[in-house]
Amino acid sequence: MTRLSRRAFALAAGTAGLSLAAPGVLHAQSTGRLVVIGGGFGGASAARYARIAFPRLDVTLIEPKATFVTCPYGNLLLAGERTLPQITHSYDGLKARGVRVVQDWADGIDATAKTVRLRGGQTVPYDKLILSPGIAIRWNAIEGYNEAAAEALPHAWVPGAGEQTTLLRRQLEALPDGGVVGFAIPPNPFRCPPGPYERISMVASYLKKHKPRAKIIALDAKDAFSKQGLFQDAWNELYPGMIEWVPLNKDGRVTKVDAREKVFETELGTRHKVDVGNVIPPQSAAKIAIDAGLTNETGWVPVNPLTFESVRARDIHVFGDANIGQVMPKSGYIANSTSKVAVAAAAAALEGRPAPGPTVYFNTCYSHVGDEYGISVVGVFRPTETGFAETPNSGGVSPRGPLAQQREQRRLEALYADAWYASITKDAFS
Amino acid sequence: MTRLRPALLGLALALAPAAALAQSAPAPLIALSCAGCHGPAGAGEGSVPRIAGYDREAFVQSWAAFRANERPASIMNRIARGFTDAEVAELAAYFAALR
Ligand SMILES: Cc1cc2nc3c(=O)[nH]c(=O)nc-3n(C[C@H](O)[C@H](O)[C@H](O)COP(=O)(O)OP(=O)(O)OC[C@H]3O[C@@H](n4cnc5c(N)ncnc54)[C@H](O)[C@@H]3O)c2cc1C
């Protein structure tokens, strides 16, 4: 039965020749078909881990892009400290492990028939579906901010092939000294809570070296943000007078943009003219999760905190940025660490074992704020009856204090951030 | 825990990777998040030390020292406080068994 459907899938997907070469399918006895949608931090980690820990599972990864450009370290690209190839990863490592990689979009999920419909026309059957498709931008949630506007005011928040991040970099290079760089920052929850502030820091670092008279205005839809004290200490010390952060209660929420004139307009009607504008818009779970009916009124996917199974559809596990993970942040680290719990739960069900018991979910987010200057936030989380909770008396942010006192801590954290990037991308793509 | 020597690994991967991998005991879930900084299977990465093959007793002791802020640390002190003694013992046993 399983064997037949696998053959049928291979033929339908037109990958019969390929699948013969893929070592994973040499197994006479597959314990089930695990189909993964999305080859980002969550999905790639899931596919790789599934092949290592549950070698008798048949693993298929559906991802439209030939290579994956990471959001992490994209902010260093903006500062001119990384190149696009340095943050681009191929799927060759996963293929060598026996993951069948299908380069296509998943256009629909039939949770009753347990199939995924691909844009190319094929239908892929699954026993367990692993969904880590990331975010979608809520176009027009800020008036005037649509796909065309993003060509003038890049979001650079969903990397695609890197177009948006490289566009923002080119705009920064073309900025006149004395020009203004504007940021529009969304309310919670959104992908990577410290991300906008790391970006502000990296852009400031670039401007300080190359256009020291330029200014940054950051318009925020929140009154507080991740690692706020640490970021603001660093801005005062490293980039004095360069960055103005405007919180919600000082009319910081951008409600409208004019892409042609490069104007950000806030709730009370203040118009801020910028030379380069980065709009980080409000977000939701990716389209496929919405289309499959997995999201609730928040726009994100509710899941069982022990298994990451969707509460709306059986046999579909959703993790990474697409789910409701509060109080865990939407981070690559969380996508990676929770992917393994979801896969273990799915594999246990397929192999007739009980689901793994409650475990620990773990996050470290580093941010670069200047040369040899890194800060971090750590979180140790556990599942509860209703969601996720921080483990009391654990985690937290780097110690505050003047650079003169904290130089070694900051230097080490910048070094460890680089090691983190190398480690986690290996754990997902190698 | 069966380990393949690197020279054999290539051959095994070419022939029957899944069978070869199936022989190793699966890592406990709790240990898998360490890969984010210490590399897959605790192999170490850049400036972040290798923890595969770390002596079991020493692992437990270092952890206790991190937790008590008695060992120089940039972030492990913040992490150590979030894990129970039983969890630390499980981590120690797993990483000590890796070569
Ligand atoms: C500027 C910035 C900096 C960041 N820095 C950090 C950091 O330092 N540390 C950290 O931990 N996190 C960081 N993050 C957050 C991190 O990028 C995300 O949390 C992480 O990528 C989420 O993983 P994911 O698997 O949910 O989504 P993604 O990694 O975005 O992967 C989703 C994949 O699904 C694919 N997909 C979507 N829809 C479909 C479909 N219908 N069919 C097939 N495939 C589909 C997409 O093509 C994509 O490849 C940062 C984010 C930003 C924006």
* DSSP assignments along A143-203, one per residue: BT-STTGGGTS---SS-TTSHHHHHHHHHHHHPPTT-EEEEEEPPSS-S-TTHHHHHHHHH
B82 lies within 8 A of chain A by CB: yes
Judged by DSSP in three states, A33 sits in strand
Beta pairing partners, A185? A220
Using a CB–CB cutoff of 8 Å, tell me whether B19 touches chain A: yes
Confidence of residue A7 (pLDDT cuts 50, 70, 90): very low
pTM, full prediction:
0.92
Give the lowest-confidence range in A73-77, A140-144, A320-324, B13-17. Answer: B13-17
What is the pLDDT at residue B25? Answer: 62
Q: What share of chain B is helix, strand, coil (3-state, %, to 5)?
A: 60, 0, 40
How many Å separate Cα A288 from the centre of its chain?
A: 16
The architecture that CATH gives domain A147-283 is 3-Layer(bba) Sandwich (3.50)
Instruction: Please check whether residue B17 lies inside any domain of the structure.
Output: no
CA distance B40 to B35: 5
Nearest-CA residue for ligand 1 atom 4 is: A72
pLDDT at B7: 37
Asked if CATH classification 3.50.50.60 holds for the domain at A29-64+104-138+284-356, the reply, yes or no, is yes
pLDDT bracket for residue B26 (50, 70, 90): confident
Task: Please check the confidence at residue A278 and state whether its pLDDT lies above 90.
Answer: yes
Tens-digit pLDDT profile for residues A204-242: 999 999 999 999 999 999 999 999 999 999 999 999 999
State the pLDDT at residue A172: 98
Chain A residues inside the 8 Å CB shell of B88: none
Select the residue of A24, A344, A364 nearest B18 (Cβ to Cβ).
A24
Distance CA(A220)–CA(A251), nearest Å, equals 8
Q: Residue holding tokens 């999305």?
A: A38
- List the beta bridge partners of residue A273: A263
| Domain parsing of chain A, residue ranges | 29-64+104-138+284-356, 147-283
What is A48-87 written as a DSSP string?
A: HHHHHH-TTEEEEEE-S-SEEE-STTHHHHHTTSS-TGGG
Quote the distance between the C-alpha of residue B26 and its chain's center.
12
Residue B40, domain member (yes or no)? yes
pLDDT, tens digit, for every residue of A286-314?
A: 999 999 999 999 999 999 999 999 999 99
Kindly state whether residue B23 falls inside one of the protein's structural domains.
no
Residue A52 scores a pLDDT above 70: yes
User: Residue A426: which H helix or E strand, with range?
Assistant: helix A403-429
pLDDT of residue A159: 87
Could you count the other beta carbons within 10 Å of the beta carbon of residue A155?
19
Residue B68 sits in a domain whose CATH number is 1.10.760.10
As a whole number of angstroms, the distance between CA A96 and CA B13 comes to 8
Q: Quick check: B95 pLDDT over 50?
A: yes
- Judge whether B42 lies within some domain: yes
User: What's B74's DSSP letter?
Assistant: S
Which positions ≥6 away from A287 have C-beta within 8 Å?
A133, A136
Query: Which protein residues are within 6 Å of ligand 1, measured from CB?
Result: A 37-43, 62-65, 68, 71-72, 74-75, 105-106, 132-134, 157, 191-192, 195, 199, 286, 288, 320-322, 330-333, 335, 365-366
Q: Do domains A29-64+104-138+284-356 and A147-283 have the same CATH topology?
A: yes
Q: Across chain B, what does the average pLDDT equal?
A: 82
Q: If you measure CA to CA, which chain B residue comes closest to A419?
A: B46
The tally of domains found in chain B comes to: 1
**Which domain, by its residues, includes B48?**
29-97
**Does B46 map to a domain?**
yes
> Residue B16: is its pLDDT beyond 80?
no
